[in-house]
A = this chain, B = another copy of it.
């Protein structure tokens, strides 16, 4: 019975990692479509959304079934709750990929001009946060998860800098407004990806240590 339960938990973890793979690919394609203006890539991102949504529901259902049938305690209970939360965050990362792809489609109408924000760099930073948070989840490593939290300030700072430099650009070159606005929105989408990675890292810590680190809870209490 216990062995079977452990198998079920491992299976749940595997499924969440498949979900994560789909979502990471979507973000990667969306940001590459921005750099290359490849509308075929945008299309692929939009087409992957139903599969991601379906997988989210299946994982949730599997987690609920485990809760209902096995009535797990302590660390196993926290693991399943963490899976439910991480699942929701991954789906929202997928939503950000869709938003980015839609903005790139929008940009198709306008000349491909240089704007003062390094979207590929911001994308690689926020994707790295997601990847590290998942690595921490795979290994059950709370210290690794903790390291993800520190990266979020960098992403936030890049996004704020993008806001400032794009505002100035619009003031000086109003004809570039559509491109600047779309870059601004994409920059915010990537900043939200970093927020979701932070949530995932916090869920890993909650699972492993049993402590709730959100909003600096440990430091405060």
Residues of A within 8 A of B (CB): 50, 53-54, 56-57, 60-61, 64, 67-68, 71, 73-74, 77-78, 81, 84-85, 88, 163, 167, 170-171, 174-175, 177-178, 181, 184-185, 188, 212, 214-215, 217, 220
Contacts and interface: CB of A to CB of B under 8 A. Distances in A.
B53 A214 contact: yes
Contacts of A77: 64, 67-68
Given A81-B64, A84-B84, A50 B215 contact: yes
Given A81-B84, A84-B81, A174-B171, A57 B181 contact: no
A167 B103 CA distance: 14
Given A212-B60, A217-B57, A67 B68 contact: no
A75 to B, nearest CB: 11
Contacts of A167: 177-178, 181
Nearest to A177: B170
5 contacts: A57-B217, A64-B77, A67-B81, A84-B84, A171-B174
A38 B70 CA distance: 53
Given A68-B77, A167-B181, A188-B188, 4 more contacts: A53-B217, A67-B77, A71-B71, A163-B181
A204 B194 CA distance: 28
Contact of A64 (B61, B78, B171): B78
Contacts of A217: 53-54, 57
